[in-house]
Amino acid sequence: MKRAIPVVALSVVGLISVWRYEPSLGPTETTAAPEPAPSASASAGPPGSSTVIVEGTTITTEKGPVQVRATFEGDRITAVRMLQQPNHPQTKTAVPKLVEQTLEVQSADVDTVTGATITSDAYKESLQAALDAKGG
């Protein structure tokens, strides 16, 4: 009888945890937050420099907001920086891969990183907004 009370109590605690668990529903359509249009601004580079820095739209996902800043030298993407990203292990692993691919293909047409589909899709959408804002 002394063991029955802790067993029942722990079983109840375990069942409550299972009932309250809300699994991820998988990839969902991301929607752009009501943000102003992406902005473009020239960096403080040397005179005659063709360096342009453009921020993409903030994309709101179930994991958190995603926003990129792309740096261009002429028509070439030379750097991509995440201004906002979900604080999630898969995101932290995916971002370097997404940036590397972007610099290789010079577009937002990059492969989705396995395990970070939501972040990958939002990254591509924000990057495409930056490309559109720049005119590329």
CA distance 35 to 57: 7
Q: How confident is the model at residue 5 (pLDDT cuts 50, 70, 90)?
A: confident
Structural Rg of the chain based on CA atoms: 21
pLDDT at 11: 81
SS3 34: coil
Does residue 103 surpass a pLDDT of 90?
yes
Q: How far apart are CA 70 and CA 32, in angstroms?
A: 18
The pLDDT value recorded for residue 135 is: 82
> What pTM did the predictor assign?
0.65
More confident site: 122 or 9: 122
The pLDDT of 12-26, averaged and rounded, is 63
